[in-house]
Amino acid sequence: MLDAFNAGYSNGTLLNTIPARGTLRSELGALGILGRKGRKLVEEFTGHITFPVLDANGNTSGIMAERPDLDAADMLTVPAEGLHIWNRAAARRHTDLLLTGSVLDALALFVSGVENTVAAPRDSWLDSVSMLHGEGVGRVTALVTEADPDTPVPGPQISLPNCIRPVALLAQNGKQALCDAVAVALRDSGVESSAAKSMSGSDGLCLTLGPRAYRVLALKRGPNVLRATIRAEFAGRLHVDTLNLYRASVRKALCADLVRAFDQPPELIDSEIAKLIIACEQHEPEEQASVASVGPPPVSPEERERAEALGRSSDLLDRIRQDCEHCGLVGETDGKLLCYLAAVSRKLPEPLSVLILSSSGAGKSALQNVTLSLCPPEDVVKLTSLTGRALFYQDQGSLRHKVLALEEVAGAGEAAYAIRNLISAGELVISTTVRDRTTGRLTTTENRVEGPTAVFCTTTKPTVDPETRSRFFVLGIDESCEQTASILAWQRAREAVVASTGSTDVDDIRAVHRNFQRLLRPIRVVNPLAPLLTYGTSRLQARRDQPKYLGLIRAIAFLRQMSKPIKTWSVEGEEPFEYVEADLDDVRAANALMTATLGGGLDELSSPARDLLLTIERFVHERSRELDTPPIPRASVTFTRRDLREHCGWSNYRVHTYLGELAELQYVLAESSRSGVCHRYRLAHDGGGAEVDGLGLGLKSVEQLERELAELPDPHDYSGTVRPKNHSATS
């Protein structure tokens, strides 16, 4: 820093290095560098550190000198009269400045990261502040120390603890302590860190630079774009232009226009444009700032106690089902638990993702919304629509350990590739070509979006891309008449309850679950039972389904961490870490959920299509008995869509959609027909629905696991694998 600011030191040998004759000594005496003590010619700066003072054009206009003394600031200036401002170039880069009465104090602030710092003799502060305002500085804050004389201070002022000098605090405690002390002093005094930011709003940015006022509207930012409408006003004159401030030719034209319109020096206008660019880059609309600043609220001791009581409860999974029902989700016993587990798994390295497929109006959005309402709002990113590359340009950590919820798969069709990679790889990386603003050459820039992320989607279309579908737990909605009756009864019962009481109960439930999820530690989960588990091998899809099964066990164990012993894994030469183990109860719950959600889905039929297939079988069975005696084969019975609508009460759209799915997978056949004649359908074979219902996953029962564990020599060594020699696991 001393080299950057051309600092020097006067050791009193100047008289020995300059000619004894000539005019040089008299000229240095006139400037005040040399003086007399009695008849002796002496050097006035002896024992002082010297700093050249630069004018607005960068030329040396004087010298400021101080003794290297931490107790008091002894400032000398050359020439003695006139204004001396050290680091005047900061006025070109910043809209607000911090003013000190010592160059050493200002230099201490500068090296500590507070670069918007200038220094001037205390007795000239009033004139110095006026000059800085005239050069476009919005606000000048004075830093007062114990070494400063008691003279008027222009504008706002701050001081460090005990009015200590910045250079003394730097010497005692270091750079970070000085930077923190300045930040605290600015905050306590109510002075914002940026004048431009204090005047920003949702409708644009207002910036006052000296007597000129700039207003920025319709600001759009990108890797190589800073486009805005600039409204500049000065002395009753107005200039408005829309331009890209990142283009040098555009900035040059804007500078020329403002110089001509306002009759000001080009250097001054150019510095103000530079400040305007910096303010635009730092500007953040109020809506975005409020969203970005949202974080987890503090959890009080009482709230923590209630949340931990929920986490330690022995019937935690049943409590989750009951609380979802209190929040308005009737039925869907297994679906709501699986969705809750998927949402909680966002904190794991490999979270679960859920695709809810059902008929329109069946309640898929209700299942998703109720589940997400129990999650902390800061962990949920909910979108209605998504373009193809939108996820690639998110902020790096915006999706890390979050739930990404999409209202409808159709609204994110172009983003299917990004969603698949986010689930599989846990991150998104895109490299794009941009033009370098400095050289003008094309170059590449990389944007990385980090996961892991739990993804929620809903859809009514059974024709979801198989590549996308295979990465999700595909859930159906109970569309039976019994479920409809339960929902209607709940809707009527809700009308009989005082609204305020009901809403209060729901809010309490949500608060407990949100705090519970906030308190879940990002701890590892080890499944020592995994080598003993089994999964069906008859289908290639099992290669992706078994990781879902293991991930479900992992999520259940992670959810129940508060009721499990925390163990420590330590290996010599490695950092020890804490973990919890999956147990038989976790496997039992996972087996039940897998059987309920995937047990009937190995045929690739959606839940509504499977319900329709069973309905068709019952309808054909009844029709075959009515048509002839003895009954004709069911495969010979034909029917129309109208026959099905009248039999089961489904809408035409619903029958048309899922009958098409059955025809595509050849569970029913569409007979050829002439023009103007209704299409007729028949079952492709007998007992199709029964066969579908009987499919299994090949999971090993918990009872069999218990028997196998009992036969192990060491019942605690579930894996049967060799542990590291220096391993120790302690609770």
639 in Cβ contact with 663 (< 8 Å): no
Least confident segment among 369-378, 413-422, 708-717: 708-717
Q: How far apart (Å, rounded) are the C-alpha atoms in residues 49 and 62? A: 14
Least confident range of 121-130, 339-348, 610-619, 625-634: 625-634
The 668-671 sheet, strands edge to edge:
638-639, 680-683, 668-671
Provide the phi-psi class of 201: left if phi over 0, else alpha when psi is between -120 and 50, else beta.
beta
pLDDT, residue 498, reads 59
- Whether pLDDT at 616 is above 90: no
Contacts of 329 by beta carbon, 8 Å cutoff, 6+ apart: 336, 363, 366, 367, 370, 371
Scanning the structure block, which residue is given the tokens 């209605």? 384
What distance, in Å, lies between the first and last C-alpha atoms of the chain?
A: 54
CB 517 within 8 A of CB 303: no
| 8-193 and 607-693 agree in CATH topology | no
List, in order, residues 6 or more apart from 585 with CB less than 8 Å away: 560
pLDDT per residue over 518-541, tens digit each?
A: 999 999 999 999 999 988 887 777
The most confident of 338-342, 488-492, 541-545, by mean pLDDT: 338-342
**3-state SS assignment for residue 381:** strand
Q: Predicted confidence band at 190 (pLDDT cuts at 50, 70, 90)?
A: low
Which conformational region is residue 688 in: left (phi greater than 0), alpha (psi within -120 to 50 degrees), or beta? alpha
- How many angstroms separate the Cα of 717 from the Cα of each of 234, 710, 723? 81, 11, 9
Q: Say whether 344 sits in a helix, a strand or coil.
A: helix
More confident site: 342 or 274 = 342
Could you tell me if 629 and 637 are in contact, meaning their C-beta atoms sit under 8 angstroms apart? Answer: no
Q: Give the 3-state secondary structure of 459-514.
A: ECCCCCCHHHHCCCEEECCCCCHHHHHHHHHHHHHHHCCCHHHHHHHHHHHHHHHH
What integer is the mean pLDDT of 126-139? 80
Q: Which residue has the higher pLDDT, 338 or 622?
A: 338
pLDDT in the model for residue 332? 82
**3-class SS of residue 40:** strand
Task: Point out the least confidently predicted range of 200-204, 506-510, 561-565, 587-591.
Answer: 200-204
Q: 48-52, 97-101, 281-285: which range is least confident on average?
A: 281-285
C-alpha–C-alpha distance, residues 361 and 384, integer Å: 17
Going by pLDDT thresholds of 50, 70 and 90, the confidence category of residue 403 is: very high
Between 550 and 475, where is the model more confident?
550
On the question of pLDDT at 375 being above 90, the answer is yes
pLDDT at 374: 93
**DSSP states of 409-463:** GGGGGGGHHHHHHHHHHSEEEEEEEEE-TTT--EEEEEEEEE--EEEEEEES-S-
Question: Which of 2-11, 39-48, 99-108, 492-501 shows the lowest mean pLDDT across its residues?
Answer: 492-501
Distance CA 712, CA 720 (A): 8
Q: How far is residue 415's CA from residue 393's CA, in Å, rounded to a whole number?
A: 12
Instruction: Decide if 443 contacts 433 (C-beta within 8 A).
Output: yes
Stronger pLDDT, 725 or 405, i.e. the higher one: 405
Contacts of 651 (CB under 8 A, 6+ apart): 645
Residue 727 has pLDDT above 70, yes or no: no
Q: Could you say which architecture CATH assigns to the domain 607-693? A: Orthogonal Bundle (1.10)
Q: Strand 40-43 to strand 49-54: parallel, antiparallel, or no bridges (unpaired)?
A: unpaired
Domain map (residue ranges) of the chain? 8-193, 196-292, 301-520, 607-693
Question: Which of the two residues, 607 and 51, has the higher pLDDT score?
Answer: 51
DSSP letter at 70 equals: S
Q: Which of the pair, 517 or 661, is modelled with greater confidence?
A: 517
CA dihedral 545, 550, 556, 562 (to 10 degrees): -160
Q: Is 27 helix (H, G, I), strand (E, B) or coil?
A: helix
Is residue 557 over pLDDT 80?
yes
Judged against a pLDDT cut of 80, whether residue 187 lies above it is answered with no
Domain 301-520 top-level CATH class: alpha beta
Residue 629 has pLDDT above 70, yes or no: no
Per-residue pLDDT, 661: 81
Q: What is the mean pLDDT of the chain?
A: 81
Is the four-CA dihedral 431, 434, 436, 437 of positive or negative sign?
negative
Rounded mean pLDDT of 267-284? Answer: 82
Contact indicator for 344, 336 with CB cutoff of 8 Å: no
Identity of the highest mean pLDDT range in 297-301, 459-463, 505-509: 505-509
Residue (of 157, 164, 201) closest to 181 by Cα position: 164
**With bands split at pLDDT 50, 70 and 90, how would you rate the model's confidence at 555?**
very high
Q: Give yes or no for residue 376 having a pLDDT over 80.
A: yes
Contact (Cβ atoms closer than 8 angstroms) between residue 382 and residue 352: no
Q: How far apart are CA 428 and CA 421, in angstroms?
A: 7
Structure tokens at 33: 């560098």
Q: Which residue has the higher pLDDT, 204 or 358?
A: 358
Q: What is the pLDDT of residues 39-77, one digit of tens each?
A: 888 888 888 899 998 887 778 888 988 888 766 556 788
Q: What is the mean pLDDT of residues 548-561?
A: 94
Cα-based torsion angle of the residue sequence 231, 232, 238, 239 in order, rounded to the nearest 10 degrees: -70
What is the CATH number assigned to the segment(s) 8-193?
3.40.1360.10
How far is it, in rounded angstroms, from Cα 661 to Cα 655? 10
How big is the CA angle at 685 (ends 683 and 691), to the nearest 5 degrees?
110
Note the pLDDT tens digit of each residue in 223-262: 678 888 999 988 778 899 999 888 888 899 999 999 998 8
Q: How many CA atoms lie within 13 A of 548 on its CB side?
A: 25
**Neighbouring residues of 305: CB distance < 8 A, sequence distance ≥ 6:** none
Distance, in Å, from the CA atom of 269 to the CA atom of 262, rounded to the nearest integer, reads 9
Q: Structure tokens of 58?
A: 């960068």
Region 216-227 average pLDDT: 82
| pLDDT over 60 (residue 104) | yes
Query: Does position 198 have pLDDT exceeding 50, yes or no?
Result: no
